[in-house]
């Protein structure tokens, strides 16, 4: 069974631009979560989607948004990029996401903002 895929793997953008990242979960998994990872802050939760609905949202500004499609694929968008948005963006999928389901991560998208 194929794992979680994320595209693109690497991105370089300039301040003020916007970016869209894509995530395809493991086949049959209906829940997708997004995390931001930086060296100083560790893994920070962005948002979680299940059946096309955002169930939870982390403490990030409104510039960060996401959505999920009927096939469970998910996208996240960051508008008006700032230098501090440079990070590894990780998508994780799980079967249902009861509290306690295992989450499986994709390879991540490394975003560099210059």
Partner 1 sequence: QKEVEQNSGPLSVPEGAIASLNCTYSDRGSQSFFWYRQYSGKSPELIMFIYSNGDKEDGRFTAQLNKASQYVSLLIRDSQPSDSATYLCAVPGYSGNTPLVFGKGTRLSVIA
Q: Smallest distance, Å, CB 64 to partner 1?
A: 14
**Residue count, binding to partner 1 (CB under 8 A):** 23
60 in contact with partner 1 (CB under 8 A): no
State the Cα angle at 55 between 69 and 42, rounded to 5°.
100
Check if the beta carbon of residue 89 is closer than 8 Å to that of residue 21. Answer: yes
User: Judging by DSSP bridges, how do beta strands 87-94 and 64-68 pair with one another?
Assistant: unpaired
Q: Interaction with partner 1 in 11-50: which residues (CB under 8 A)?
A: 31, 33, 42-43, 45, 48
Check if the beta carbon of residue 64 is closer than 8 Å to that of residue 35. Answer: no
> Where on the chain is the footprint of partner 1 (CB under 8 A)?
31, 33, 42-43, 45, 48, 56, 58, 88, 90, 92, 94, 97, 99-108
């Amino acid at each position: 069974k194929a794992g979680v895929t994320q595209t693109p793997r690497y991105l370089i953008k300039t301040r003020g631009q916007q970016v869209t990242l894509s995530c395809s979960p493991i086949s049959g998994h209906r829940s997708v979560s997004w995390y931001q990872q930086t060296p100083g802050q560790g893994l920070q939760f962005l948002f979680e989607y299940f059946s096309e609905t955002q169930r939870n949202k982390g403490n990030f500004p409104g510039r960060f948004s996401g959505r999920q499609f009927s096939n469970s694929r998910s996208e996240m968008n960051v508008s008006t990029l700032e230098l501090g948005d440079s990070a590894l963006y990780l998508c994780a999928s799980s079967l249902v996401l009861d509290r306690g389901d295992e989450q499986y991560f994709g390879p991540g998208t490394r975003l560099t903002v210059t």
